[in-house]
Amino acid sequence: MAKYIFVTGGVVSSLGKGVTASAIGALIKAGNYSVNMMKIDPYLNVDAGTMRPYEHGEVFVCDDGTETDLDLGNYERFLQITTTRDSAITTGRVYQRVIDAERRGEYLGQTVQVIPHITNEIKKRIKLFDKHNSDICIIELGGTVGDIESVPYTEAIRQFAIEEGSENVMFIHLTLVPLVTGGELKTKPSQHSVKTLMSEGILPDMLVCRSTETIPDELKEKLALFCNVRKKAVISLPDAKNSIYEIPLKLQQEKVLEIIEERLKLPLKKANLSKWQEIVKNIEESTDIVDIAFVGKYLQLSDAYKSVLEAFVHAGTQQKHKINLINIDPELLENNDPEVLENLKKAHGIFVPGGFGTRGVDGKITTLNYGRINKIPTFGICLGLQCMVIEYARNVLKIKADSVEFNPSAEHLVIEMLTNLKNIKDFGGTMRLGAYDSEFVADSKIATIYGTTKVSERHRHRFEVNPMYTDDLEKAGLIISGRGPSGLVESVEIQDHPWYLGVQYHPEFLSSPLKAHPLFNSFVEASIKNKNKI
Ligand code: GLN
At residue 172, φ and ψ (nearest 5 deg) are -115, 130
| Residue 300 predicted with pLDDT over 80 | no
More confident residue, 131 or 32: 32
| Residue 144 predicted with pLDDT over 90 | yes
Whether ligand 1 lies within 6 angstroms of the CB of 382 is answered as yes
Whether ligand 1 lies within 6 angstroms of the CB of 505 is answered as no
The confidence score (pLDDT) of residue 336 equals: 80
**How much distance in Å is there from the Cα of 303 to the middle of ligand 1?**
18
Name which of 87-91, 180-184, 210-214, 250-254 the model is least confident about.
180-184
**How much distance in Å is there from the Cα of 196 to the middle of ligand 1?**
42
CA distances from 47 to 38, 71, 88, 430 (A): 14, 13, 9, 12
The confidence score (pLDDT) of residue 509 equals: 97
Whether ligand 1 lies within 6 angstroms of the CB of 404 is answered as no
Whether ligand 1 lies within 6 angstroms of the CB of 67 is answered as no
Whether ligand 1 lies within 6 angstroms of the CB of 405 is answered as yes
The confidence score (pLDDT) of residue 335 equals: 81
Ligand 1 atom having least distance to the Cα of 353: 8
Domain 3-278 grouped into CATH 3.40.50.300? yes
* Long-range pairs, 277-284, Cβ under 8 A, ≥24: 277/249, 279/243, 279/245, 279/317, 279/513, 279/514, 280/242, 280/243, 280/245, 280/246, 280/249, 282/317, 282/318, 282/320, 283/242, 283/243, 283/245, 283/313, 283/316, 283/317, 284/242
pLDDT in tens, 9-46: 988 887 899 999 999 999 999 999 999 999 999 998 88
pLDDT in tens, 350-367: 999 999 988 899 999 999
CATH 3.40.50.880 segments of the chain: 286-533
- Give the amino acid at 164: E
**How much distance in Å is there from the Cα of 356 to the middle of ligand 1?**
5
| Residue 488 predicted with pLDDT over 80 | yes
SS3 content of the chain, % helix, strand, coil (to 5): 45, 20, 35
pLDDT in tens, 464-483: 999 999 999 999 999 999 99
Running DSSP on this structure, what letter comes out for residue 209?
Answer: E
| Residue 299 predicted with pLDDT over 80 | no
How confident is the model over 190-202, as a mean pLDDT? 95
Comparing CA positions, the residue from 284, 215, 218 lying closest to residue 253 is 215
More confident residue, 27 or 334: 27
Q: Whose CA is nearest to atom 6 of ligand 1?
A: 461
Q: Which pLDDT band holds residue 372 (cuts at 50, 70, 90)? A: very high
Tell me what percent of the residues of the chain surpass a pLDDT of 90: 84
Residues taking part in catalysis: 382, 506, 508
Distance CA 235, CA 221 (A): 11
**How much distance in Å is there from the Cα of 363 to the middle of ligand 1?**
17
Site to probe by mutation for ligand 1, drawn from 306, 358, 383 as the one with most ligand atoms within 8 Å of Cβ, is 383
Q: Which pLDDT band holds residue 182 (cuts at 50, 70, 90)? A: confident
Tell me what percent of the residues of the chain surpass a pLDDT of 70: 99
507 upstream amide cis, omega within 30 of 0: no
The confidence score (pLDDT) of residue 301 equals: 56
Distance CA 484, CA 479 (A): 15
CATH topology of domain 286-533: Rossmann fold (3.40.50)
pLDDT in tens, 223-265: 999 999 999 999 999 999 889 999 999 999 999 999 999 999 9
Phi-psi region of 517 (alpha: psi -120 to 50; beta: other; left: phi over 0): beta
Q: How many helices (H) and strands (E) does the chain have?
A: 19, 23
Task: Determine contact, residues 397/472, Cβ cutoff 8 Å.
Answer: yes
pLDDT in tens, 102-123: 999 999 999 999 999 999 999 9
Whether ligand 1 lies within 6 angstroms of the CB of 17 is answered as no
Name which of 47-61, 181-195, 208-222, 402-416 the model is least confident about.
47-61
**How much distance in Å is there from the Cα of 482 to the middle of ligand 1?**
18
Pure H helices in 295-349:
306-318, 330-334, 338-346
Q: What is the mean pLDDT of the chain?
A: 93
CATH 3.40.50.300 segments of the chain: 3-278
Comparing CA positions, the residue from 319, 327, 292, 293 lying closest to residue 522 is 319
The confidence score (pLDDT) of residue 52 equals: 82
Whether ligand 1 lies within 6 angstroms of the CB of 383 is answered as yes
| Residue 320 predicted with pLDDT over 70 | yes
